[in-house]
Structure 1
């Protein structure tokens, strides 16, 4: 898929039940950018990420839905630590459900297929 745009993803999968969708989308994208290296990459992916992002690009301009799915899978353990109100948490949960439904619905065109992946350098896999 290429780069992430949480706002357009939310609009495509939208249930329309959250008034702050744009704010939530911006927050998820900011969290993705801040957490990629620490939470979302495997050890062997971090060097490549450092090289890709060394020119100041944001992770969301380089990484796609595979890494977004990693973030969404971690939100359940992260959200209780946030300082969001119950209404804000409900909004985030609704939007995440919408984005997940959109990812499932469009999986064949959004995610890379096995033959599109490059073989990892053997030194990185060990």
Structure 2
């Protein structure tokens, strides 16, 4: 199963990877909106759009939340983010990653989802419907990209002070 990512979301993933792995920056946690918030907003959006939302949509959103909570510590974090995860989601706590993390990490799930869904026992029709609903959700993320994704990352403070002649000027 393939889940096509819109181009702007692919760029978002690449930028996210670069900020974290190459520039040593992190996403400030807890994120607002959280994954839970985004899933609720999508459900509200679909309800306004269609009047009544089918059980399938609710089931898929609940499944996304469950997959996210399980997959985040196992396969969605980059190495520099692991200590931050333990700080915000302590072992044996009742804190769900979906109540702390946001769209950046949720988007990473969509890259891994096809390999995770290989292990589910679903009929072809159901897989096709799931694929369509996930594509619709990604379009929603894309339309709300400026609201859901962070534009700045936290990182090591860089001293931008420059010596000019004998004076030191901080920028």
| Deviation for aligned residue 1:62 | 0.2
**Root mean square deviation, CA, Å:** 2.4
Equivalent residues in 2 for 1:90-109, closer than 5 Å: 90-109=128-147
Per-residue deviation, residues 78-104 of structure 1 (Å, max 9, x unmatched)? 222222222332232122111110111
Alignment of 1:20-39 (within 5 A): 20-39=56-75
The structure whose residues are more often helix, as a share, is: 1
**1:42-57 correspondence runs (5 A):** 42-54=78-90, 55-57=93-95
Alignment correspondent of 1:80: 118
Matches for 1:3-18 after TM superposition, within 5 Å: 3-5=34-36, 6-12=39-45
Distance in 2, matches of 1:120 and 1:26, equals 36
Tell whether the 8 Å contact from 1:13 to 1:101 is kept in structure 2 after alignment. Answer: no
How far apart are residue 112 of structure 1 and its match?
Answer: 0.7
With structure 2 as the length reference, what TM-score do the two structures score?
0.61
Q: Give the match's secondary structure for 1:83.
A: coil
Unaligned runs of 5+ in 1: 122-126
Within 1, Cα distance between the matches of 2:155 and 2:108? 20
Give the match's secondary structure for 1:20: helix
Going from structure 1 to structure 2, the CA distance change for 1:8 and 1:89 (only over 3 Å counts) comes to farther
Aligned residues: 119
